[in-house]
Homo-oligomer: A and B are copies of this chain.
Amino acid sequence: MSLENQIIQIAKQARAAARIMATLSAEQKNRALFAIARQLEKNKEVIQAENAKDVAAARKNGLSDAMIDRLTITDKVLDGMVEGLEYVAGLEDPVGTLSDSSIRPNGLEMARMRIPLGVIGIIYESRPNVTVDAAGLCLKAGNAVILRGGSEAIHSNQALARAIEQGISTQGLPAGAVQVIPTSDRAAVDIMLKQEEYIDLIIPRGGEGLIRHVVAASSIPVLKHYKGVCHAYVDELADLEMGVSIVLNAKAQRPGVCNALETLLVHEGVAQQFLPMVHKALTQAGVTLKGCPKTCEILPDAVPATEADWPMEYQDLILAVKVVKDMDDAMAHIAAYGSNHTEVIITTDLNRSRRFIREVDASLVIVNASTRFNDGGQLGLGAEIGISTSKLHAYGPMGIKELTTTKFVAWGNGQIRT
């Protein structure tokens, strides 16, 4: 069979499976999640042996230690997958719930019913645990899912796929409910992205390059964020100690993730006092500062920033710093260089906090807390499948509810339009 026919067949099977998945009860879906968890434990040795092949190839191909670390399925990583499935089983099933119901003047009763999206395609890089995490969340929301991991994890993903298939087949779920693309041929992705007749949504997870390619090649709606250029604005009326603590956490607690801080904006009225304080804390944490001219005046060892620094997502222990005239100046900078991801204000002033919340356009706008809270778990959505900075359908972390939609339903007793 040609690669194209192979991918189309997978997509058609997913579409057929989606019709069945949409009718399952929460109990049936939970049993399948537990069955997958059991199969992962049972097949642990096989999964780790297949993963060792990927790790060996990665070493041979000279991948970085960080990437090899993300690729490796240790006992702890496998336990994490099992716990993740059990956690998702505990989430409330949104499918079938009714909302916005009303009785129309003619007696027609209407409501919105929450339903699965249908078929979801996930395209991701390196971490094989996405295979299990994404499959579990999509399945709980009543969707069929097609997974396409990175070529560097092909053996691991196939082994995980077999365990998932065994798990769902023991519970009588359709085999097309979870499928892993069985080839590392890159052409498979582009064929998959054209199956708009069978696939309802694509979620890419990985670097900006992967995501831009997916968006450009897809005729299917894509939910994604390109990057997280997150700002913290320290206002003139701020608790500066709190500001130091938040900036340090936002930048240094986990610098490689999308909700890490990339640019610090400081009101000129407190710059002289605040910058040395935050500089001390950041330097101790190994952070390099790249500053605007005013910053460099106050902090002589800051590296002068260039225009290229303001839209930069370092994902590293580097922080751009700019002194701003006031909050309007800060908001203008955020509007010009921000990525609609996460924006923080540190202030004690009520009206400024209200304006910042209302006027800043980002998937999460925070007053007096770390950017690192832009996360489905932290915001109480349960497990998340990614963060969207597109405004359509979902803006911010996407949990189980964002893997569903609503249809209208209506009951009458013969109503006609006149």
A380 partner, pick from B110, B201, B216, B414, beta carbons under 8 A: B110
User: Contacts of A250 on B, CB cut-off 8 Å?
Assistant: 416
Majority secondary structure of chain A interface residues (helix, strand, loop or mixed):
mixed
A408 sits at the interface (CB 8 A): yes
A19 sits at the interface (CB 8 A): yes
The stretch that binds B, out of A5-13, A167-175, A365-373, is: A365-373
| Nearest-neighbor residue (CB-CB) of A410 within chain B | B366
Minimum C-beta distance from A54 to chain B (A)? 31
A263 sits at the interface (CB 8 A): no
The digit string for A344-372, where 1 denotes a CB below 8 A from any CB of B, is: 00000000010001110111111111101
Q: A393-B392, A405-B395 are in contact. Are A367 and B411 (CB under 8 A)?
A: yes
A270 sits at the interface (CB 8 A): no
A104 partner, pick from B115, B201, B380, beta carbons under 8 A: B380
User: Contacts of A362 on B, CB cut-off 8 Å?
Assistant: 407
| Nearest-neighbor residue (CB-CB) of A359 within chain B | B23
A393 lies within 8 A of B393 (CB): yes
A414 lies within 8 A of B242 (CB): yes
A410 lies within 8 A of B108 (CB): no
- A residues 154-192 in Cβ contact with B at 8 Å: none
User: Contacts of A223 on B, CB cut-off 8 Å?
Assistant: 392
Give Cα distance in the complex from A103 to B185, angstroms: 46
A397 sits at the interface (CB 8 A): yes
A369 lies within 8 A of B108 (CB): yes
User: Contacts of A246 on B, CB cut-off 8 Å?
Assistant: 414, 416
| Nearest-neighbor residue (CB-CB) of A346 within chain B | B414
User: Contacts of A359 on B, CB cut-off 8 Å?
Assistant: 19, 22-23
Minimum C-beta distance from A208 to chain B (A)? 15
A392 partner, pick from B221, B365, B414, beta carbons under 8 A: B221
Q: A369-B414, A414-B246, A415-B370 are in contact. Are A408 and B396 (CB under 8 A)?
A: yes
A357 partner, pick from B113, B215, B366, B417, beta carbons under 8 A: B113
**8 extra A-B contacts, CB within 8 A, seeds A223-B392, A373-B412:** A23-B359, A104-B379, A110-B379, A239-B414, A242-B414, A248-B416, A366-B412, A379-B408
Q: Can you sample 28 A-B contacts with CB below 8 Å?
A: A19-B359, A19-B361, A108-B378, A117-B392, A201-B391, A221-B390, A223-B392, A242-B414, A249-B416, A353-B411, A357-B409, A362-B407, A363-B408, A364-B407, A365-B407, A366-B409, A366-B410, A366-B411, A367-B410, A368-B414, A369-B416, A370-B415, A373-B410, A378-B417, A392-B392, A395-B405, A396-B408, A397-B408
